[in-house]
Structure 1
Amino acid sequence: MTQENLVVCTKCGVVNRLPLGRNGTDAKCGKCGALLFSGLPQDIDAANFDRQIGRGSLPVLVDVWAPWCGPCKAMAPAYEAAAKALEPHIRLVKLNSDKEQAIAARLDIRGIPTMILFHRRLEIARISGAMGTSQIVSWVRGHVPTGTS
């Protein structure tokens, strides 16, 4: 039996099988053809959030943000750079707390930006406040279970 990761497409939400030995940087969704890892964190809606957390096998880092938030805007380039460093071993996504208020409430978001790291459906770490690229990468690698990053 081949070892594989289940990777949820951020565009259409379909679950794709990606063999562990395959370089995921050029992998495309079997349904919509979008790159599974673009090097840029994608904004997702509530349904895609639930699929990322519930169906994917990769650790998922969620940046909860809002368009009016100055620190969120300031951190955006660092989060994008972190995606380039961490993908394809970690899925990085963005969740707009204004558009997805029900998810933000379910996650008990008290301040933004807040980053939450999930693995196998469970929240394994959370931090609030803007961070630089190296801080984000170090924080994620310090919390991801061995062998998954």
Structure 2
Amino acid sequence: MDMLKATCSHCGTANRVPAGKLWDKPICGKCKQPVISYKPVTVSEQNFDKFVLNTDLPVIVDFWASWCAPCVQFSPVFEQAATGWEPRVRFVKIDADATPALSQRLGIRSIPSLLLFYKGKEIERRAGAMPAQMFDQWLENQVSQLGV
């Protein structure tokens, strides 16, 4: 059985999970909490690589800021999508104001910005908020192209 690397939502430990068991709510070997939280994980510059680049699962990253009205409006859409899409896709939120070096490293020029990573590589990016149905359709298109 294929083993997938998935970072624990609670403690950030990399766990190896059998691909077929990902939907069985696997428990982290270190903290004994569920590896998948079914809600977006807030990530910093210090743990970005661990949560986004060092996993075998697709990861959708939302760069946002608290002063950005479209970001605030999109937040519930992003949170709701996480409950339905995880563990097929992991969801990560990054405060662009709190992570200036990371925002610069990734070339974030506007917010909200959505970046899709798969196996450590950026696959797609989209600027701007979307209504729930459009976001879900965009995700479905992107993930189906990845074959996951």
**Normalized against structure 1, the TM-score is what?**
0.91
Q: Counterpart of 1:117 in structure 2: which amino acid? A: L
Kindly indicate whether the alpha-carbon contact (under 8 Å) linking 1:64 and 1:97 is maintained by their aligned counterparts in 2: yes
Match of 2:46 in 1: 47
Give the equivalent residue in structure 1 for 2:94.
95
**Paired residue secondary structure (2:33):** coil
- Shift, 1:94, TM fit: 0.3
Report the secondary structure of 2:81's partner residue: helix
Q: Give 1:65's aligned residue.
A: 64
Q: Distance in 2 between matches of 1:65 and 1:76?
A: 9
Q: Mean Cα displacement is larger for which, 19-28 or 121-130?
A: 19-28
Cα distance, 1:134 vs structure 2: 2.0
Quick one: distance in 2 between partners of 1:128 and 1:140?
A: 14
**In 2, distance between residues paired with 1:68 and 1:82?**
22
What do residues 5-57 of structure 1 show as CA deviations (whole Å, max 9, x unaligned)?
A: 11012332210111111143522221123322222111111232111232100
User: Number of aligned pairs?
Assistant: 147
TM-score (norm 2): 0.91
| Partner residue, 1:77 | 76
Q: Residues 78 and 16 from structure 1, CA distance in 2 versus in 1: closer, same or farther, beyond 3 angstroms?
A: same
- Pick which of 139-148 and 89-98 moved more: 139-148
SS at match of 1:118: strand
Which segments of structure 1 move beyond 6 Å, counting only runs of 4 or more? none
Shift of residue 116 of structure 1?
A: 0.2
CA spacing shift, 1:83–1:98, aligned 2, 3 Å: same
On the 8 A contact 1:82/1:134 being kept in 2, the answer is no
Deviation at 1:76, TM superposition (A): 0.6
Q: Measure the CA separation in 2 of the matches of 1:115 and 1:38.
A: 20
CA distance in 2, matches of 1:134, 1:4: 32
Residues 101/10 of structure 1: CA separation in 2 closer, same or farther (3 Å cut): farther
Contact 1:59 1:91 survives alignment (8 Å): yes
- Tell me the residue number matched to 2:147: 147
Partner residue of 2:130?
Answer: 131
Q: Distance in 2 between matches of 1:49 and 1:25?
A: 26
Matched residue SS, 2:115: strand
